[in-house]
Chain A
């Protein structure tokens, strides 16, 4: 489970009075909606450790991760774009999720689980947008972190691909017990997969 306890962030670019309190349960997709510039991506940067909060605590499975650097946080993150290294094959991109030597069987199994069996040798640059997101999800599977952060991950996808990607995220979240936080301004994404919804307005999170 992920919890943000009175997390504040003071920066000239951040909304005044930015204060975040929320929980995201394991095995559930928690959505954060808000207009452009509301601070949704800042929220993810705080959880991922790219930005340091001025005050408050970030808790993952009962452990305070606030002082940890991004590399040390038990968190996986999927950006809207630039999710893969285009010069590497799909398999090597997935292998980046493993700390040691690449395990071909694990990589193949992860790709299979996201519906991309056999795509491993292909270069990431040759994949479609939807396939790239699935490869990134396969990498997340190998990383086996309890929190998954999604920064507008479906925005660049067409309607059909988008629907199947949403379903995949939801089923992986349930199966692996991730606390998934989805940041988006698309109401249909929220309606399709979110179990809990927060609205970020004026720098404050409100349920609903």
Chain B
């Protein structure tokens, strides 16, 4: 009759200490970055900002708002269609949409140009691909697919008994959506909307490629332009502070909403299918979505494949490839270690307040967009008397690890908490020590989630342009930076080949890494 989750939790002072130390370190780092930006702002107090901040803010909010609304609408329709339809290769299609979260924005933007651009597959249709429409379109492709995969998870989780009741009552497709589906997904929509808004609000490579110049100057691109092109640090600092403030407001507001899990279960059980017009509508939705998401990716592969042999013969490609891989590996190892420590400490902490306190610094990095984080790190390095060029590798690894940390902690936190809650008493009753608890109980159960966290971090880092954009040099370039440079120099074949290779590498890593970790976990069982 009386259950105390905290009394059942195994006491793990070492975990708590390690997790708190990590939390304090990442908390201090964010304070230092913020301090560097604020100090720069103070030093330039009264300096003129050569930029219409209000307009930048308006455009950023407008594109993010439109991207969010349209992505949710597409996500709901696509999730609905995928939940009902069964066809050969469905798992591959669902997996394709699931990969949207890690597909580099740069690659999607490039693929959209390949399909809809003037010289693209469907260039004759005259669809405007540059400017606000192009930016929103690219976000719609990525975030609509991401939303669909998350919402499909909710629809697939509807209890069988509820579906059987609905079926026996003879609900038609539309009433079924209102009575059964909508209640299952509506709780996830506010949290999902907040995530998509943040992704679109802080979008960098898509706006850089499709923004069409100064007509769509979002905050992230404006910061980059202020630092790298206009050398206007005053404007960069002002914009970074505005962006961090606004992102923080969105995050604080969305923290009151239901969280959205990054991890989704396999989708495949046979279900009650609709008929008639609803079924036709589902096929149409699926066909449009497959074309909208699949065509740009197919175009990237098709156009890039031709030039891949030439690019593979370039030493600069291999140099960028190696840099990309070790940065991705380094940042994902670091991100996973910190996320494991934070998640384990949070689950071991007695009391909700301490649990929140341990995890909050990791989530704080959601409020710091890549370019703003990069700017803070740039200022911090410079103020410390160090050369940005010499510290760049370390800073880029660290920055990418920190940017992936909220996703890694969000992926690992719930399973650790669930084990502590449901199995804590048994673990205590069996007098298991911390090491045995981790190796025998936790690792086999969280290995796949750890793989997902690792893969997310690896892929984010592989596709990152925001951090490397400020720290990259002629001798220190990653694949995305080399691709942008190739585009800037009108070497579009080289850019196409790099985009194709990045796409294959990213999706391959996203599929393979969780499976590899899952096997490692099974071996531990």
Residues of chain A whose beta carbon lies under 8 Å from any beta carbon of chain B: 11, 13-14, 36-42, 45, 48-52, 69-72, 75-77, 79, 82-83, 85, 87-89, 92, 96-97, 99, 123, 139, 143
Q: Is the CB of B525 within 8 A of A92?
A: yes
Q: List 21 A-B contacts (CB under 8 A).
A: A14-B1, A36-B1, A37-B1, A38-B1, A40-B1, A41-B2, A48-B425, A48-B429, A51-B4, A69-B428, A70-B431, A71-B428, A77-B429, A79-B425, A82-B422, A82-B426, A87-B445, A89-B525, A96-B430, A96-B436, A96-B440
Using a CB-CB cutoff of 8 Å, which residues 114-132 of chain B contact chain A? none
- Taking the closest CB of chain B, its distance from the CB of A195, in whole angstroms, is 24
Q: Is the CB of B432 within 8 A of A85?
A: no
Q: Is the CB of A79 within 8 A of B2?
A: no
Q: Is the CB of B444 within 8 A of A88?
A: yes
Using a CB-CB cutoff of 8 Å, which residues 1-60 of chain B contact chain A? 1-2, 4, 7-8, 10-11
Q: Is the CB of A75 within 8 A of B429?
A: yes
The proximity string for B residues 405-444 relative to A, scoring 1 for CB distances below 8 Å and 0 otherwise, is: 0000000000000000011011011111000100011001
Please indicate the chain B residues that have their CB under 8 angstroms from the CB of A39 in the complex. 1-2
Complex Cα–Cα for A96 and B436 (A): 9
Which of B1, B2, B429, B436 is A70 in contact with, Cβ under 8 Å?
B429
Please indicate the chain A residues that have their CB under 8 angstroms from the CB of B436 in the complex. 96
Q: A39-B2, A71-B431 are in contact. Are A50 and B8 (CB under 8 A)?
A: yes
Complex Cα–Cα for A38 and B428 (A): 25
Q: Is the CB of A83 within 8 A of B8?
A: no
Please indicate the chain B residues that have their CB under 8 angstroms from the CB of A52 in the complex. 7
Residues of chain B whose beta carbon lies under 8 Å from any beta carbon of chain A: 1-2, 4, 7-8, 10-11, 422-423, 425-426, 428-432, 436, 440-441, 444-445, 525
Q: Is the CB of A96 within 8 A of B432?
A: yes
Which of B2, B428, B525 is A87 in contact with, Cβ under 8 Å?
B525
Q: A82-B423, A96-B440 are in contact. Are A41 and B429 (CB under 8 A)?
A: no
Q: A85-B441, A87-B445 are in contact. Are A50 and B430 (CB under 8 A)?
A: no
| Count of A-B residue pairs with CB < 8 Å | 71
Please indicate the chain B residues that have their CB under 8 angstroms from the CB of A38 in the complex. 1
Q: Is the CB of B430 within 8 A of A45?
A: no
- Taking the closest CB of chain B, its distance from the CB of A46, in whole angstroms, is 10
Dominant secondary structure of chain A at its interface with chain B: loop
Which of A36, A83, A92, A99 is B431 in contact with, Cβ under 8 Å?
A99
Please indicate the chain B residues that have their CB under 8 angstroms from the CB of A88 in the complex. 440, 444, 525
Please indicate the chain A residues that have their CB under 8 angstroms from the CB of B425 in the complex. 48, 50, 70, 77, 79
Q: Is the CB of B1 within 8 A of A13?
A: yes
Please indicate the chain A residues that have their CB under 8 angstroms from the CB of B2 in the complex. 11, 13-14, 39, 41-42, 45, 51
10 more A-B contacts (CB under 8 A) besides A77-B425, A87-B445? A11-B2, A38-B1, A51-B7, A69-B428, A72-B431, A76-B429, A79-B425, A82-B423, A85-B426, A88-B440
Please indicate the chain B residues that have their CB under 8 angstroms from the CB of A139 in the complex. 430
Which 6 A/B pairs are nearest by Cβ-Cβ distance?
A: A70-B428, A71-B431, A13-B2, A37-B1, A77-B429, A87-B525
Q: A13-B2, A36-B1 are in contact. Are A83 and B428 (CB under 8 A)?
A: no
Complex Cα–Cα for A85 and B422 (A): 11
- Taking the closest CB of chain B, its distance from the CB of A101, in whole angstroms, is 11
Which of B4, B422, B432, B445 is A50 in contact with, Cβ under 8 Å?
B4
Complex Cα–Cα for A50 and B425 (A): 7
- Chain B's closest residue to A39 (CB) is B1
- Chain B's closest residue to A18 (CB) is B2
Q: A88-B440, A92-B525 are in contact. Are A83 and B426 (CB under 8 A)?
A: yes
- Taking the closest CB of chain A, its distance from the CB of B137, in whole angstroms, is 44
Complex Cα–Cα for A45 and B429 (A): 10
Q: A71-B428, A75-B429, A99-B431 are in contact. Are A87 and B444 (CB under 8 A)?
A: yes
- Taking the closest CB of chain B, its distance from the CB of A202, in whole angstroms, is 13
- Taking the closest CB of chain B, its distance from the CB of A3, in whole angstroms, is 20
Complex Cα–Cα for A83 and B444 (A): 17
- Taking the closest CB of chain B, its distance from the CB of A10, in whole angstroms, is 11
Complex Cα–Cα for A39 and B431 (A): 25
- Chain B's closest residue to A36 (CB) is B1
- Chain B's closest residue to A89 (CB) is B525
Please indicate the chain A residues that have their CB under 8 angstroms from the CB of B422 in the complex. 82
Complex Cα–Cα for A185 and B295 (A): 63
- Chain B's closest residue to A84 (CB) is B426
